[in-house]
Structure 1
Amino acid sequence: MDQTTRKLAQYRCIPMAKVFAKEQAGKLSEALHTAGLPVVNVSQQHPDGAELVRTLAKDPTLLVGSGNVQTYDQALHALDNGARFLFSPLFDERMIALAQQQDIPIFPVTTQIAMAELHHLKVLGCYPVTELGGLAFINKMGEEGGLSFIVAGHIEESMMEYYLSNPHVLAMTGSWMFADGSDWKAITKALVRAASWKLE
Protein backbone atom coordinates (compact mmCIF):
# COMPACT_ATOMS: atom_id res chain seq x y z
CA MET A 1 0.00 0.00 0.00
CA ASP A 2 1.40 3.41 -0.95
CA GLN A 3 2.04 6.09 1.65
CA THR A 4 -0.92 8.29 0.70
CA THR A 5 -3.43 5.43 0.80
CA ARG A 6 -1.97 4.32 4.11
CA LYS A 7 -2.51 7.84 5.43
CA LEU A 8 -6.13 7.88 4.24
CA ALA A 9 -6.68 4.54 5.94
CA GLN A 10 -5.28 6.04 9.12
CA TYR A 11 -7.59 9.07 8.94
CA ARG A 12 -10.57 6.75 8.24
CA CYS A 13 -13.00 9.64 7.75
CA ILE A 14 -12.12 11.79 4.72
CA PRO A 15 -14.14 15.02 4.59
CA MET A 16 -15.57 15.76 1.15
CA ALA A 17 -15.90 19.42 0.24
CA LYS A 18 -18.75 19.82 -2.25
CA VAL A 19 -20.11 23.31 -1.58
CA PHE A 20 -17.19 25.62 -0.82
CA ALA A 21 -16.04 28.46 -3.06
CA LYS A 22 -12.35 29.13 -3.61
CA GLU A 23 -12.61 32.19 -1.35
CA GLN A 24 -13.42 29.85 1.57
CA ALA A 25 -10.19 27.87 1.23
CA GLY A 26 -8.55 29.61 4.17
CA LYS A 27 -11.41 28.96 6.59
CA LEU A 28 -11.74 25.37 5.39
CA SER A 29 -8.03 24.73 5.90
CA GLU A 30 -8.14 26.31 9.35
CA ALA A 31 -11.12 24.16 10.39
CA LEU A 32 -9.41 20.96 9.19
CA HIS A 33 -6.18 21.75 11.00
CA THR A 34 -7.93 22.86 14.18
CA ALA A 35 -9.89 19.61 14.27
CA GLY A 36 -6.75 17.53 13.81
CA LEU A 37 -7.98 16.10 10.50
CA PRO A 38 -5.75 17.63 7.81
CA VAL A 39 -7.24 15.82 4.83
CA VAL A 40 -9.91 16.80 2.31
CA ASN A 41 -11.49 15.36 -0.82
CA VAL A 42 -12.65 18.22 -3.08
CA SER A 43 -15.49 17.53 -5.52
CA GLN A 44 -14.59 18.43 -9.08
CA GLN A 45 -18.26 18.92 -9.91
CA HIS A 46 -18.35 22.24 -8.05
CA PRO A 47 -17.50 25.23 -10.28
CA ASP A 48 -14.66 26.19 -7.94
CA GLY A 49 -13.47 22.63 -7.33
CA ALA A 50 -10.31 22.82 -9.43
CA GLU A 51 -9.24 26.18 -8.00
CA LEU A 52 -10.03 25.06 -4.46
CA VAL A 53 -7.69 22.09 -4.90
CA ARG A 54 -4.98 24.37 -6.29
CA THR A 55 -5.25 26.76 -3.32
CA LEU A 56 -5.46 24.10 -0.61
CA ALA A 57 -2.66 22.01 -2.11
CA LYS A 58 -0.19 24.87 -1.52
CA ASP A 59 -0.21 23.79 2.14
CA PRO A 60 2.14 20.78 2.36
CA THR A 61 0.66 19.78 5.73
CA LEU A 62 -2.79 19.26 4.18
CA LEU A 63 -3.51 16.06 2.25
CA VAL A 64 -5.68 17.26 -0.64
CA GLY A 65 -7.39 15.09 -3.23
CA SER A 66 -9.97 15.45 -5.98
CA GLY A 67 -13.27 13.61 -5.85
CA ASN A 68 -16.07 12.85 -8.30
CA VAL A 69 -13.59 13.05 -11.15
CA GLN A 70 -15.56 12.08 -14.23
CA THR A 71 -13.34 12.79 -17.23
CA TYR A 72 -9.72 12.39 -18.25
CA ASP A 73 -9.36 16.17 -18.53
CA GLN A 74 -10.68 16.64 -14.99
CA ALA A 75 -8.13 14.11 -13.76
CA LEU A 76 -5.35 15.85 -15.67
CA HIS A 77 -6.29 19.26 -14.25
CA ALA A 78 -6.63 17.85 -10.73
CA LEU A 79 -3.12 16.43 -10.86
CA ASP A 80 -1.76 19.65 -12.34
CA ASN A 81 -3.41 21.52 -9.46
CA GLY A 82 -1.65 19.37 -6.87
CA ALA A 83 -4.18 16.66 -6.00
CA ARG A 84 -2.46 13.82 -4.15
CA PHE A 85 -5.27 11.28 -4.66
CA LEU A 86 -8.26 10.86 -6.97
CA PHE A 87 -11.73 9.42 -6.51
CA SER A 88 -13.80 8.61 -9.57
CA PRO A 89 -17.29 7.10 -9.82
CA LEU A 90 -16.16 5.56 -13.13
CA PHE A 91 -13.59 3.01 -14.25
CA ASP A 92 -11.76 4.97 -16.93
CA GLU A 93 -8.63 3.13 -18.02
CA ARG A 94 -6.95 6.28 -19.39
CA MET A 95 -7.59 8.09 -16.12
CA ILE A 96 -6.21 5.17 -14.11
CA ALA A 97 -3.08 5.01 -16.29
CA LEU A 98 -2.54 8.76 -15.92
CA ALA A 99 -2.67 8.60 -12.14
CA GLN A 100 -0.47 5.53 -11.95
CA GLN A 101 2.14 7.09 -14.24
CA GLN A 102 2.42 9.92 -11.72
CA ASP A 103 2.38 7.61 -8.68
CA ILE A 104 -0.89 9.13 -7.49
CA PRO A 105 -3.40 6.71 -5.94
CA ILE A 106 -6.75 6.56 -7.71
CA PHE A 107 -9.88 4.93 -6.35
CA PRO A 108 -12.26 4.15 -9.22
CA VAL A 109 -15.43 2.10 -9.06
CA THR A 110 -15.92 -1.32 -10.61
CA THR A 111 -17.91 -4.44 -9.79
CA GLN A 112 -15.43 -6.66 -11.63
CA ILE A 113 -12.53 -8.16 -9.70
CA ALA A 114 -10.74 -8.98 -12.96
CA MET A 115 -10.67 -5.31 -13.98
CA ALA A 116 -9.14 -4.31 -10.65
CA GLU A 117 -6.51 -7.04 -11.00
CA LEU A 118 -5.73 -6.04 -14.58
CA HIS A 119 -4.84 -2.54 -13.41
CA HIS A 120 -3.09 -3.66 -10.21
CA LEU A 121 -5.65 -1.97 -7.97
CA LYS A 122 -6.08 -3.28 -4.45
CA VAL A 123 -8.17 -0.40 -3.08
CA LEU A 124 -11.32 0.76 -4.87
CA GLY A 125 -13.96 3.37 -4.35
CA CYS A 126 -17.43 2.09 -3.52
CA TYR A 127 -19.94 4.68 -4.69
CA PRO A 128 -22.83 4.78 -4.29
CA VAL A 129 -22.31 2.17 -1.62
CA THR A 130 -25.96 1.32 -0.99
CA GLU A 131 -26.85 1.02 -4.66
CA LEU A 132 -23.86 -1.26 -5.27
CA GLY A 133 -25.07 -3.65 -2.61
CA GLY A 134 -23.63 -2.29 0.62
CA LEU A 135 -21.59 -4.55 2.87
CA ALA A 136 -22.77 -7.70 1.09
CA PHE A 137 -21.08 -6.44 -2.10
CA ILE A 138 -17.99 -5.27 -0.20
CA ASN A 139 -17.62 -8.60 1.61
CA LYS A 140 -17.95 -10.58 -1.62
CA MET A 141 -15.37 -8.47 -3.45
CA GLY A 142 -13.08 -8.42 -0.43
CA GLU A 143 -13.18 -12.13 0.18
CA GLU A 144 -12.98 -13.22 -3.47
CA GLY A 145 -10.60 -10.56 -4.75
CA GLY A 146 -8.64 -9.46 -1.70
CA LEU A 147 -9.88 -5.92 -2.29
CA SER A 148 -10.37 -3.07 0.17
CA PHE A 149 -12.69 -0.10 -0.22
CA ILE A 150 -13.19 3.55 0.54
CA VAL A 151 -16.95 3.94 0.73
CA ALA A 152 -19.06 6.93 -0.24
CA GLY A 153 -22.60 7.93 -1.05
CA HIS A 154 -25.04 9.58 1.37
CA ILE A 155 -23.22 8.29 4.44
CA GLU A 156 -24.40 10.07 7.57
CA GLU A 157 -22.48 10.38 10.82
CA SER A 158 -24.70 7.73 12.41
CA MET A 159 -23.53 5.19 9.80
CA MET A 160 -19.82 5.57 10.44
CA GLU A 161 -19.43 2.60 12.78
CA TYR A 162 -21.53 0.37 10.54
CA TYR A 163 -19.10 0.80 7.65
CA LEU A 164 -15.79 1.38 9.40
CA SER A 165 -16.12 -1.75 11.53
CA ASN A 166 -15.99 -3.87 8.37
CA PRO A 167 -12.52 -5.37 7.75
CA HIS A 168 -12.71 -4.64 4.01
CA VAL A 169 -13.46 -0.93 4.50
CA LEU A 170 -10.34 1.20 4.84
CA ALA A 171 -12.11 4.55 5.08
CA MET A 172 -15.13 6.58 4.06
CA THR A 173 -15.50 9.92 2.35
CA GLY A 174 -18.52 12.13 2.77
CA SER A 175 -19.78 15.61 3.55
CA TRP A 176 -21.88 15.15 6.71
CA MET A 177 -19.43 17.27 8.72
CA PHE A 178 -20.22 20.26 6.47
CA ALA A 179 -23.99 20.15 6.96
CA ASP A 180 -23.95 23.51 8.76
CA GLY A 181 -22.86 25.37 5.65
CA SER A 182 -20.75 28.39 6.59
CA ASP A 183 -21.06 28.03 10.36
CA TRP A 184 -17.37 27.38 10.87
CA LYS A 185 -17.69 26.81 14.60
CA ALA A 186 -20.21 24.01 14.01
CA ILE A 187 -18.16 22.65 11.12
CA THR A 188 -15.03 22.50 13.27
CA LYS A 189 -16.91 20.65 16.02
CA ALA A 190 -18.19 18.14 13.46
CA LEU A 191 -14.67 17.70 12.09
CA VAL A 192 -13.42 17.00 15.62
CA ARG A 193 -15.97 14.17 15.83
CA ALA A 194 -14.83 12.92 12.44
CA ALA A 195 -11.22 13.02 13.66
CA SER A 196 -12.13 10.73 16.55
CA TRP A 197 -12.15 7.84 14.07
CA LYS A 198 -8.44 8.23 13.33
CA LEU A 199 -6.19 5.27 13.99
CA GLU A 200 -3.10 6.09 15.99
Structure 2
Amino acid sequence: MARPVSGVGMAAVLAGSRLLPVLTVASAASAGPLADALAAGGARCAEVTLRTPDAEQVLKTMAAHGALTVGAGTVLTPDQAERAVAAGARFLVSPGFDGEVIDKAQELGVPVVPGVATATELMCALKAGLDTVKLFPAEPLGGTRTLRALAAPFPQARFVPTGGIGPDRLASYLAHPAVLAVGGSWMAADGHLERGEYAEIRRLTAEAVERSAP
Protein backbone atom coordinates (compact mmCIF):
# COMPACT_ATOMS: atom_id res chain seq x y z
CA MET A 1 0.00 0.00 0.00
CA ALA A 2 1.27 3.48 -0.83
CA ARG A 3 1.98 5.73 2.10
CA PRO A 4 -0.34 8.69 2.76
CA VAL A 5 0.58 11.96 1.11
CA SER A 6 2.63 14.13 3.39
CA GLY A 7 2.51 17.89 3.57
CA VAL A 8 -0.24 20.14 2.24
CA GLY A 9 -3.42 18.52 0.93
CA MET A 10 -5.48 19.50 -2.09
CA ALA A 11 -8.03 21.44 -0.04
CA ALA A 12 -5.26 23.63 1.38
CA VAL A 13 -3.74 24.15 -2.07
CA LEU A 14 -7.09 25.35 -3.44
CA ALA A 15 -7.44 27.61 -0.38
CA GLY A 16 -11.19 27.83 -0.63
CA SER A 17 -11.36 28.30 -4.38
CA ARG A 18 -14.11 26.14 -5.82
CA LEU A 19 -13.24 26.76 -9.46
CA LEU A 20 -10.38 25.09 -11.33
CA PRO A 21 -9.80 26.37 -14.88
CA VAL A 22 -8.43 23.51 -17.00
CA LEU A 23 -6.08 24.82 -19.67
CA THR A 24 -4.72 23.24 -22.84
CA VAL A 25 -2.32 25.83 -24.22
CA ALA A 26 -0.69 25.31 -27.61
CA SER A 27 1.83 28.16 -27.45
CA ALA A 28 4.06 29.27 -24.60
CA ALA A 29 3.56 32.84 -25.84
CA SER A 30 0.00 32.67 -24.52
CA ALA A 31 1.02 31.77 -20.97
CA GLY A 32 1.69 35.23 -19.58
CA PRO A 33 -1.40 36.99 -21.01
CA LEU A 34 -3.53 33.99 -20.05
CA ALA A 35 -2.33 34.10 -16.45
CA ASP A 36 -3.03 37.85 -16.38
CA ALA A 37 -6.58 37.32 -17.71
CA LEU A 38 -7.41 34.52 -15.28
CA ALA A 39 -6.07 36.44 -12.30
CA ALA A 40 -7.92 39.61 -13.37
CA GLY A 41 -11.11 37.55 -13.54
CA GLY A 42 -10.63 36.42 -9.97
CA ALA A 43 -9.26 32.90 -10.48
CA ARG A 44 -6.84 31.75 -7.81
CA CYS A 45 -5.69 28.46 -9.29
CA ALA A 46 -5.38 26.71 -12.64
CA GLU A 47 -4.51 23.34 -14.14
CA VAL A 48 -2.20 23.25 -17.16
CA THR A 49 -2.68 20.00 -19.05
CA LEU A 50 0.41 18.27 -20.41
CA ARG A 51 -1.15 17.77 -23.83
CA THR A 52 0.90 20.11 -25.99
CA PRO A 53 4.62 20.38 -26.84
CA ASP A 54 4.83 23.75 -25.05
CA ALA A 55 2.95 22.61 -21.93
CA GLU A 56 5.99 22.43 -19.67
CA GLN A 57 7.06 25.97 -20.53
CA VAL A 58 3.49 27.20 -20.17
CA LEU A 59 3.37 25.63 -16.72
CA LYS A 60 6.69 27.21 -15.77
CA THR A 61 5.62 30.68 -16.93
CA MET A 62 2.22 30.55 -15.26
CA ALA A 63 3.65 29.14 -12.03
CA ALA A 64 6.08 32.08 -11.91
CA HIS A 65 3.26 34.58 -12.41
CA GLY A 66 2.62 34.74 -8.70
CA ALA A 67 -1.11 35.40 -8.66
CA LEU A 68 -2.16 31.80 -9.36
CA THR A 69 -1.58 28.43 -7.75
CA VAL A 70 -0.80 26.29 -10.79
CA GLY A 71 -0.84 22.52 -11.16
CA ALA A 72 -0.25 20.05 -13.97
CA GLY A 73 -2.99 17.97 -15.54
CA THR A 74 -3.02 14.91 -17.80
CA VAL A 75 -0.08 13.53 -15.84
CA LEU A 76 0.36 10.00 -17.17
CA THR A 77 3.83 8.93 -16.05
CA PRO A 78 6.17 9.36 -13.07
CA ASP A 79 8.62 11.23 -15.31
CA GLN A 80 5.92 13.74 -16.26
CA ALA A 81 5.11 14.17 -12.58
CA GLU A 82 8.73 14.89 -11.72
CA ARG A 83 9.20 17.32 -14.60
CA ALA A 84 5.94 19.13 -13.80
CA VAL A 85 6.93 19.68 -10.18
CA ALA A 86 10.36 20.89 -11.29
CA ALA A 87 8.56 23.41 -13.54
CA GLY A 88 6.57 24.72 -10.58
CA ALA A 89 3.43 22.58 -10.37
CA ARG A 90 1.90 22.74 -6.89
CA PHE A 91 -0.40 19.77 -7.54
CA LEU A 92 -0.86 16.98 -10.08
CA VAL A 93 -4.01 15.71 -11.78
CA SER A 94 -4.40 12.49 -13.78
CA PRO A 95 -7.28 11.33 -15.98
CA GLY A 96 -7.18 7.91 -14.30
CA PHE A 97 -5.71 5.99 -11.38
CA ASP A 98 -2.05 5.03 -11.82
CA GLY A 99 -0.17 3.73 -8.82
CA GLU A 100 3.26 4.76 -10.12
CA VAL A 101 2.15 8.36 -10.66
CA ILE A 102 0.66 8.46 -7.18
CA ASP A 103 3.82 7.01 -5.66
CA LYS A 104 5.92 9.63 -7.43
CA ALA A 105 3.65 12.46 -6.23
CA GLN A 106 3.89 11.16 -2.68
CA GLU A 107 7.66 10.99 -3.01
CA LEU A 108 7.70 14.59 -4.23
CA GLY A 109 5.34 15.71 -1.47
CA VAL A 110 2.70 17.29 -3.72
CA PRO A 111 -1.05 16.58 -3.75
CA VAL A 112 -2.22 14.30 -6.55
CA VAL A 113 -5.79 13.98 -7.78
CA PRO A 114 -6.39 10.79 -9.79
CA GLY A 115 -9.33 10.42 -12.12
CA VAL A 116 -11.99 7.89 -11.14
CA ALA A 117 -15.07 6.66 -12.94
CA THR A 118 -16.04 3.70 -10.74
CA ALA A 119 -16.35 2.74 -7.08
CA THR A 120 -13.41 0.34 -7.54
CA GLU A 121 -11.09 3.15 -8.66
CA LEU A 122 -12.30 5.34 -5.80
CA MET A 123 -11.54 2.56 -3.32
CA CYS A 124 -8.03 2.25 -4.79
CA ALA A 125 -7.48 5.99 -4.30
CA LEU A 126 -8.67 5.89 -0.71
CA LYS A 127 -6.48 2.87 -0.01
CA ALA A 128 -3.50 4.82 -1.39
CA GLY A 129 -4.06 7.46 1.28
CA LEU A 130 -5.83 10.03 -0.93
CA ASP A 131 -9.02 11.83 0.00
CA THR A 132 -9.61 13.87 -3.18
CA VAL A 133 -10.34 12.42 -6.62
CA LYS A 134 -11.33 13.75 -10.01
CA LEU A 135 -14.65 12.44 -11.30
CA PHE A 136 -13.84 12.13 -14.99
CA PRO A 137 -15.36 12.53 -17.50
CA ALA A 138 -18.11 13.84 -15.27
CA GLU A 139 -20.91 14.69 -17.70
CA PRO A 140 -20.53 11.64 -20.00
CA LEU A 141 -20.50 9.44 -16.88
CA GLY A 142 -23.91 10.71 -15.79
CA GLY A 143 -23.16 14.04 -14.14
CA THR A 144 -24.47 14.78 -10.68
CA ARG A 145 -26.43 11.51 -10.55
CA THR A 146 -23.18 9.55 -10.74
CA LEU A 147 -21.53 11.94 -8.30
CA ARG A 148 -24.26 11.35 -5.72
CA ALA A 149 -24.10 7.59 -6.25
CA LEU A 150 -20.33 7.46 -5.71
CA ALA A 151 -20.27 9.90 -2.81
CA ALA A 152 -22.93 8.11 -0.76
CA PRO A 153 -20.88 5.06 0.34
CA PHE A 154 -17.64 7.06 0.72
CA PRO A 155 -18.36 10.08 2.95
CA GLN A 156 -14.62 10.67 3.45
CA ALA A 157 -14.04 11.33 -0.26
CA ARG A 158 -13.94 14.75 -1.89
CA PHE A 159 -14.46 15.23 -5.63
CA VAL A 160 -13.26 17.58 -8.35
CA PRO A 161 -15.69 16.80 -11.20
CA THR A 162 -14.24 17.60 -14.62
CA GLY A 163 -15.21 16.78 -18.19
CA GLY A 164 -18.02 18.30 -20.23
CA ILE A 165 -19.06 20.73 -17.51
CA GLY A 166 -20.12 24.20 -18.63
CA PRO A 167 -21.21 27.29 -16.71
CA ASP A 168 -24.84 26.19 -16.71
CA ARG A 169 -23.95 23.03 -14.76
CA LEU A 170 -21.49 24.59 -12.33
CA ALA A 171 -23.97 25.35 -9.54
CA SER A 172 -25.52 21.87 -9.58
CA TYR A 173 -22.13 20.24 -8.92
CA LEU A 174 -21.07 22.76 -6.30
CA ALA A 175 -24.33 22.20 -4.42
CA HIS A 176 -23.14 18.72 -3.40
CA PRO A 177 -21.20 18.81 -0.11
CA ALA A 178 -18.63 16.25 -1.35
CA VAL A 179 -17.48 18.55 -4.17
CA LEU A 180 -14.29 20.39 -3.34
CA ALA A 181 -14.06 22.25 -6.66
CA VAL A 182 -15.19 21.95 -10.28
CA GLY A 183 -12.82 21.81 -13.22
CA GLY A 184 -13.74 23.27 -16.58
CA SER A 185 -12.20 24.44 -19.83
CA TRP A 186 -14.93 26.79 -21.04
CA MET A 187 -13.23 29.86 -19.53
CA ALA A 188 -10.22 29.56 -21.84
CA ALA A 189 -11.17 27.31 -24.73
CA ASP A 190 -8.93 26.63 -27.73
CA GLY A 191 -10.68 29.27 -29.82
CA HIS A 192 -10.18 31.98 -27.21
CA LEU A 193 -6.46 31.30 -27.09
CA GLU A 194 -6.05 31.01 -30.86
CA ARG A 195 -7.71 34.39 -31.35
CA GLY A 196 -6.05 36.05 -28.37
CA GLU A 197 -9.38 36.83 -26.74
CA TYR A 198 -7.99 37.53 -23.29
CA ALA A 199 -10.70 40.06 -22.43
CA GLU A 200 -13.29 37.35 -23.07
CA ILE A 201 -11.31 34.89 -20.93
CA ARG A 202 -11.29 37.47 -18.16
CA ARG A 203 -15.05 38.00 -18.51
CA LEU A 204 -15.89 34.29 -18.51
CA THR A 205 -13.60 33.70 -15.54
CA ALA A 206 -15.17 36.53 -13.55
CA GLU A 207 -18.62 35.15 -14.33
CA ALA A 208 -17.60 31.65 -13.24
CA VAL A 209 -15.97 32.92 -10.06
CA GLU A 210 -19.17 34.74 -9.19
CA ARG A 211 -21.25 31.62 -9.87
CA SER A 212 -18.94 29.52 -7.69
CA ALA A 213 -19.01 31.86 -4.71
CA PRO A 214 -20.61 30.37 -1.55
Instruction: Work out whether the TM-score is over 0.5.
Output: yes
| Paired letter, 1:6 | A
Q: TM-score, normalised by structure 1?
A: 0.90
1:163 to 2:177 alignment:
no
Kept in 2: contact 1:13–1:197 (CA 8 A) = no
Match of residue 197 from structure 2: 183
How far apart, in 1, do the equivalents of 2:171 and 2:46 lie?
20
How far apart, in 1, do the equivalents of 2:46 and 2:123 lie?
30
Match of residue 22 from structure 2: 16
Offset, 1:103: 2.1
1:53 to 2:59 alignment:
yes
2:182 to 172, 177, 183: 172
Offset, 1:118: 1.5
Kept in 1: contact 2:133–2:159 (CA 8 A) = yes
1:195 to 2:209 alignment:
yes
- What root-mean-square deviation, in Å, do the aligned CA atoms of Structure 1 and Structure 2 show? 2.0
Match of residue 150 from structure 1: 160
In 2 relative to 1, CA 175–60 (structure 1 residues): closer, same or farther, beyond 3 Å?
same
How far apart, in 1, do the equivalents of 2:96 and 2:102 lie?
10
| Paired letter, 1:134 | G
Please say which of residues 16-25 and 77-86 is displaced more in the overlay. 16-25
Instruction: Tell me the percent identity.
Output: 31
1:114 to 2:128 alignment:
no
Give the length in aligned residue pairs: 200
How far apart, in 2, do the equivalents of 1:194 and 1:20 lie?
23
Q: Structure 2: where are the runs of 5+ without partners?
A: 1-6
Offset, 1:22: 0.8
How far apart, in 2, do the equivalents of 1:109 and 1:199 lie?
25
Matches within 5 A, 1:1-12: 2=8, 4-8=10-14, 10-12=16-18
How far apart, in 1, do the equivalents of 2:79 and 2:45 lie?
23
Offset, 1:85: 0.8
How far apart, in 2, do the equivalents of 1:15 and 1:64 lie?
10
Match of residue 3 from structure 2: none
